Amino acid sequence: MTSKSDRTLDITQEVCPLTFVKAKLAVERIAPGEVLEIRLRGDEPLENVPRSLTDLGHEILSLEPDPADPAGGVHVLRVRKADA
């Protein structure tokens, strides 16, 4: 993760479809161009959250394993909100 995020959201304890709903609401609350960092876990969120946010026009900057999670399984998604 190379650059700063403006906000952070942890949805590691959520299940689909709440993972996307919470991510979408968090993106809606930030200004265009800001970056949201989302911590997520599980196959469905790893596939569905980035795809759905891209479908809404937002830019996925990165999706990487969380180095702070030694057991693995948690990933960090960084997304830039699209311009209005």
Catalytic residue among 7, 12, 16, 46: 16
SS3 sequence of 7-63: EEEECCCCCCCHHHHHHHHHHHCCCCCCEEEEEEECHHHHHHHHHHHHHCCCEEEEE
pLDDT at 59 over 70: yes
Question: Does the active-site annotation cover 16?
Answer: yes
Element (DSSP H or E) covering residue 80:
strand 74-80
Q: What is the pLDDT of residue 4?
A: 84
pLDDT at 78 over 80: yes
Q: Which 3 state secondary structure label does DSSP give 74? A: strand
Joined together, the tokens standing for residue 67 give 């180095």
pLDDT digits (tens, 9 = 90+) for 11-54: 999 998 999 999 999 999 999 999 999 999 999 999 999 999 99
Q: What is the DSSP letter of 82?
A: P
